Structure formats: structure tokens, C-alpha cells
Structure 1
Amino acid sequence: MSLVVFVGAGALALAAVVLFRRPGTLVRNPLSVSTCVAISLGALVFCCSAPVTLAAVNDLTGVPNFGAPLTYGMLSAYSCSLLILLVHWRGGARERVRRMVRFSIAAYGPLIVAIVVLFVLADARTERLTDLDTYYANTPYMREMIVLYLLGHTAAMVAMCVVCLKWGREVTGLLRAGLRLILIGALLDLLGFQLAKYTAVVARWTGHDLDVLSTSVAPPMASLGALVCSAGFVLPRLLPAAVAHWCGLRDYCRLGPLWSRVEFVSTAPKPPAAWWQLPLERLHWREVAIHDALLALAPYFDDRVRQTALSAALDSGRTPHEARVTAEAAMLDAAARRAAARQAPLPTPSSHRLHATEASGPGALVELAQALARTPAPDTAGEGTVKAFQD
């Protein structure tokens, strides 16, 4: 059972780490703060509910079952944080948001106090690490404590389901997908974890024994719900960045033919070769270095080469844009060959501006790279920079 709940804790902790990767930006955004607080509290709840943790807490405090009010109080705080998260997520007038946040705290604050007070009043001297809810289901004060924490968590999950259903009809894309995942996770918690707990406790009230629902069914369902919910929390924030970095890595690789052709003339300072450098950062540096190389090769651009290649491309049926890129690739190839051979710059170099230097983003450079890949590369090994061989 400890492994099951630790899996749920790990899933929520990972989601919190992903969202907390930029603390400076996060603290200025109430939505991000409330999201990380809710996910972190969820991870702590799973850690505290593990039998290994409960035994350690009980031994440390010397109070049998001290881990119960700790876990239940933290679960109530987690439920409150979910409601606050929903309030911030929905947004609205600032005063209304603050009022709803204060209302949530006012509702769950006394609930947490009541859980602690009821535990103090109860007679719970026998340590129970896995079946406390059912073992003490008929014990005065413990019975009320168990019902209170379950009702508080149920209210939060029901509210989450209602908001996800309503809001899911108003939004599209990744946000809707994230809301659906959160809804599924909340339903797994309601129908799996909480329904199993309620059934097992009520069975004890009526003289029956369905403890297996509380000890064997509820924990894995809670962990599964946490996994799905954590995916819903991070999907709208993480997936766009992941897609952007994937596209950046693709463009970085596609710029390879162009970079290998002009690398020997670039004087741009090289970034530190760190394996953890993100693809978009690598792409940005390669763009800068290529533009620097194109600037260095400008004195070698020959309009005659470009015009000849342009006419040939148009005659072969290329569109005007394709013909322009092909001609510019031919002119760049000839310039790289002259520079690699350490020839003098042209007396009257071309004043033509490359499409790759006019357009923003890596798309135009990628087009030039793909056109250049169709021409044989000059031998530029060991040639140094243009500045070096011009001296």
C-alpha cells in the first residue's frame, strides 16, 4: 500500500516541479501559485497517508494514530486549495475572487480544527496503519472525525467536477483537454476512493465487514485519480512548450546543411556546450551564428551567379519564390567556395538581400539550408575565418 500512495505522491510532486521551473515568474501569478500549492499539498497528503509514514509519525510523537489527524487535516487543506485554485482559474472581478478565497479558507479552517479536536477527545489507543477508518467507525468522536474529513473532501471534488463540466463547454484546445483530465481524475477520486471509503464505513455501522474496500480499493483509486489530475494540471502549460522545443530541435537539425557550409566564417561566440541546453536556445544561437556568417560572406556574393541560377530555376518550372531561394543558395555556395579558397572579395559584390535575412524566424533559413543541401559542399576544413584570411 505504501508503494501505491507514494506513486500518487510522486506524480503530483513531479507536476509541481514542472510548474515551478521558473519561480520568479510563478510568484507574480496567483493562478500559478495556487496550482503549485494544490499539487504540493496533494503530494504531501499521499506521503503522510503511507503506512510507513504513519508509523514513523506515531513513533516520533509517541501518540498512537497521531498520523490520522495530520493526514486528514492536510487532506482538508488540499481540498481547500483545490477550491481556491478553481476560483483563480475561473477568474473574474478581483474583489469577487478574494471573497471566494476567504470563504473557502473560512469553511475549511474550522474543519481542520474540528478534526484535531475530535481526535483529542476520542479514545484511539490502538494503532491502526491501514484500516483506521473502519476500525474506529463506531468509536465516539473518531466516527465524527472520519465523516467530517470525507465530507470536506467530497465537497471539493464535487465542486471541481461541476466547474470542469461548465467551463469545458466554454473553452477549446488544450485547456478543454486539461479540464477533461481533471474531471476524470476527480471522478476516479469520487467513485473509487471516496465511495469505497463511505461504503466500508457505513458497512461497519450496520454490522458488516467490507474493510477491503477501504484498505485495498480506495488507495490505488486515489493514486490513479492523482495521476490523471496531475496530467490535467500540467498539460495546458507544459505541452505548448514541449511542442515548441520539438519544433526548435527539428529546425536546428534542418539548418545543419547551411551551418556546415558557412560555419568556418562565423565569428559569433560559441555558447557553452551544456547537454541540458534547451533546443530553442540551441536554435537561437545557430540562427545568430548563421546570420553572422552571411554578413561575413556578403563581399563574395556574385549577382551573375544568382541571375544565372534564377533563370535556370524559372525555366525548370519553379515558382518565383522557389527560384529565388534556389538562386540565393547558388550564390551563397559560390561565395563560400571563394572564401574557402581564400580568394579576394569581389570588387563590386551583389547588393541583393537574401530572403533569409529579410524574413523573421528560422523558416527562411531552413528553406535556404534545404536548397543548399542539394549542391555539393566546398572543402572548408581548417580554413579559419574570413577575417583571418583577409589579413
Structure 2
Amino acid sequence: MQQGVTFYIATAALGAVLLVKLPSLVRGWRSPLVRTVNAMILLHCAGFFFAAPPTVTVVNRLSGVSNFSALLVHCILCAYACTCLALMENWRGDKAGRHHTRWRVRVWIVGHCLVVMAVIVCFVLGDVPDERPTDFDTYYANAPFIGEMLVFYLSSNVVAAGGATVVCWRWSRNIRKEIRTNGSATADGWLRASLYVLGAGFLSHFISGSLKLLAIAARWNGRNWDVLNDLVCEYAPLGAMIVTLGFLLPVFGPWLTERLVKPGRTYLALAPLMRVVRPSVTSGTDSLALTTPWYADPEQRLVNRMTNIQDWLLQLRPYCAEAIRELAHREAVQKGACRPDAVAAGLAAMLRAAADARARSTPADEGESRRAAHALRSAETEYGDLMVRVSRALQPRCQSHRRGAVPMSGARRPPT
């Protein structure tokens, strides 16, 4: 019963992946790659469903043929191996070699159709009177024609899983080279992680098929290594879960980066700026700030923090002095800072001095504050990540130059 639960959990997980990818199938059904990916997930899901011991019993009773479910599962697994190889070919295919790719895919399809026909013929010629829901492979390993049938379908699965593993690792290595050459890209990074996970999942399928072949070979030599078959039946759904995760990573990974990771990192990076421009509690203006509920997502937290910072900057405007900004900007340029960092350093020095002047209740000259406000608006228009750069410039020197600081590229000011 426990094995049946694990098989059904794997079926549900793969079914969820299929539902997630269904819109892409509808949009790109003309693409051989899209059709192959969805067919592979569907066959993988069907294989686990019909391999579950409770389903095996029901199928055998409905068909009236002893161990008919074993034949059905073996044919599904052969078709799954064919889709894995076809997926490899479509991945490796390009526009220049599209004709050759189609030809190789057709060769794999024809070859596996012959394997399925051989499996069916061997099953018809063989004799399997005893129903074996979990140990069919090892129990009938020495039966005439059934042993050959097992070798046919297991060999196709092992070859397909091994080939898919090699392709995943090679493709991930090529993506790694492209990222190093052209710069980091979020989508390529998630695709690379997906390929690593898929490679691990296909490797588990390769190991499972190899262990089954070892158990069958042991039966041929008069030994009992059925524990290998039991081990495969127990942990086979784990490989399906790994493959499921591999298909989900490129679908939800970029969304997680854009909706959770980037807003969260920008939210934390703005903390030094918020502490500087935030008015004191005794002034009473802090009570007008937006409050963020505990259940808010990172995007909402970032929007609220940016809104509060903009409001506090307006309150700090009368205390800003353009002369301080210009002096700090020139010093940053003399030290070799790039133009965006020099602009941020000037604004950071101006805002820190303005916060100190507000604490002493000594406003700056009106002309100075007007020019400072104009410089701030111009810088915000020119640099989308200005506030994050200013916040980084306001950090203590030991933190701002610490290796591994939050990268500023890609940070954008959300609408307020």
C-alpha cells in the first residue's frame, strides 16, 4: 500500500507539471520541442499511474489477462524512452540541421515501435499465469520469451536515460560558458539549474534500469538479487520528483526572482537611506508613514518603503545644500569613482548633512535647497537605481566595500 501511495504521489506531481505546461502546449503546439516535452511528461505520468500495485490489480481484472498490466507498463516505458531520445534530438537540432533532426527523430520512433512490437510478441508467446504486481521482472526472468521481453524494454530505457543525462550536462555546460562570455542572465541561470536537476533525475532512471537488469541477470545465473528490484520499486518515484522539479524550475524560477528575490534584495538595500531620511519620532511626521502588514509580499514592502522615502525626502528638502553635494561629488570623482557612484556619493553626503541640519532645526538657504532638489530630480531621471546607489553610499565604509554586497544592476524604482 505504501508503494502505491508513492507511485500516486509521483503521478500527481507529474500531472501538476503537465497542467502548468498546458498553456505553452496550446500556444506552441506547432513546435516539435514543445510537443515532445509534454508527451514525455504525459507518458512518465501514465507509467507511474499504471505501475502502482493497486492499479495493476484493477487493470488485470478488467482485462481478464494475467499480468496484462505489466505489458501495458512496459509499452508505456518504451514510448517514454522514445520521447526522451526525440527530446534530445530536438534540443540539439538547429535551423541548419532541421531536416537531419527530423530524420533522426523518425529513426528513433521506428526503432522503438519495433521494440514495442517485440515486447508484445514476447508477451504473447510467453506464459505468465501468476499475477505479480511488484516483482514481475525478477519473478519471470527465467520464463521463456519473458526474459527477452524484459531485456528489450529495460535496454531502451537505460539507453534513453543515459543519453538524456549526457545531453542535460553538456547543455548546462554550454550555458555556463555563454553566461561567462555574455554576462549573467536570470533566465539562462534558471535553465542551467533546471538542466542540472533534470540530469540528476534522468541519472536516477539510468541507475534504476541498470539495477533491474542486474537483478534479472542474477536470476539467470541462479542467484537471488531481488532486493535490487525492491529498492528500485521503493525509490523510483524519487526520480520522478526530481524530474518534476527540473521542469518546474524554468517555469517558476524567473517569476520567483522578479517577484520575491529582487524586491527583497532592493528592500534590504534601501535600509541605510531610510534610516537617514526618516524623521525623528518626536517630530510627529513619522506617524504619517505607510505601514506594511506582516503578510505583505516583498513587492508591496518595497513600494511602501520607496513611497515613505520619497515623502521624507520632500520633508528634508528645505535642509539640503547644493554646495555640499557638489563638494562630495568632486571628491568622489577625484578618487576615481564612476559617474553613477560619484553622483550617488554627492547626494548621500548632502542627505546626511541635511538630516543633521534638520535635527538642529537649521534650514539651508532657499536657493541652495532649490538647486539641490533640481539635482536630485535630474539624477533620479537619469539613473533608475539611484536610490539604491545612494543607500549603498550611506553605509559604513566596512560594509560598502565588503565583498558580496548586493548588486545594484537591475534594481528599478517602483511606481509610487
| 1:248 is aligned to 2:263 | yes
CA contact (8 A) 1:258 1:372 kept: yes
Q: For this pair of structures, how many residues does the alignment match?
A: 353
Matched, 1:305 2:328: no
Aligned to 1:126: 130
Q: Could you tell which deviates more after superposition, 68-77 or 36-45? A: 36-45
Which residue of the partner structure matches residue 111 of structure 2?
107
List alignment gaps of at least 5 residues for structure 2.
Answer: 178-188, 279-284, 286-292, 357-366, 397-416
Tell me, yes or no, if the aligned pair for 1:5 and 1:220 is still in contact at 8 Å.
Answer: no
Distance 1:105 1:286, change over 3 A: farther
Counterparts in 2 of 1:25 and 1:237: CA distance versus 1, 3 Å: same
Partners of 1:257 and 1:165 lie apart in 2 by 42
- The SS at the match of 2:320 is helix
Q: Say whether the 8 Å CA contact 2:32–2:90 is kept in structure 1.
A: yes
8 Å Cα contact 1:306/1:330 also seen in 2: no
Aligned equivalents of 1:142, 1:42: Cα separation in 2? 23
Instruction: Spell out, residue by residue over 1:3-47, the C-alpha distance to the aligned partner (whole angstroms, 9 max, x if none).
Output: 444454455455556656766666575434433432342233122
Partner of 1:209: 224
Partner of 2:85: 83
CA deviation profile, 1:49-84 (whole Å, cap 9, x unmatched): 111221232234443322212211111111111112
CA–CA distance in structure 2, aligned partners of residues 71 and 188 of structure 1:
18
Task: Answer yes or no: is 1:222 the counterpart of 2:236.
Answer: yes
Whole-Å Cα distance in 2 between the matches of residues 59 and 82 of structure 1? 31
Q: Spell out the pairing of 1:66-81 with structure 2 (5 A cutoff).
A: 66-81=68-83
**Which structure is richer in relative contact order (CA contacts within 8 A, separation 6 or more)?**
1
Q: Which stretch of the first structure deviates more once superposed, 202-211 or 67-76?
A: 202-211
Q: Deviations over 1:135-194 (max 9, x none)?
A: 22233443333222112212212322443465565442756655454444444333x322
Kept in 2, the 8 Å contact 1:19–1:32? The answer is no
Report the counterpart of residue 346 of structure 2 in structure 1.
Answer: 324
Q: Conserved in 2, the CA contact under 8 Å of 1:5 and 1:223?
A: yes
Q: How does 1:353-364 map to 2 (within 5 A)?
A: 354=377, 355-360=379-384, 363-364=385-386
Aligned-pair CA distance for 1:130:
0.8
Answer yes or no: is 1:48 the counterpart of 2:72. Answer: no
Structure 2 letter corresponding to 1:322:
A
Aligned residue runs from structure 1 range 10-49, under 5 A: 12-13=14-15, 16=18, 27=29, 30-49=32-51
Deviation at 1:200, TM superposition (A): 2.5
Aligned residue number for residue 149 of structure 2: 145
Q: Distance in 1 between the 2:296 and 2:153 partners?
A: 44
Q: What is the DSSP-based 3-state SS (H/G/I as helix, E as strand, rest coil) of the residue aligned with 2:47?
A: helix
1:172 corresponds to which residue? 176
TM superposition score normalised by structure 2 = 0.64
Identity of aligned residues (%): 30
The unaligned stretches of length 5 or more in structure 1 are 265-272, 335-345, 375-391
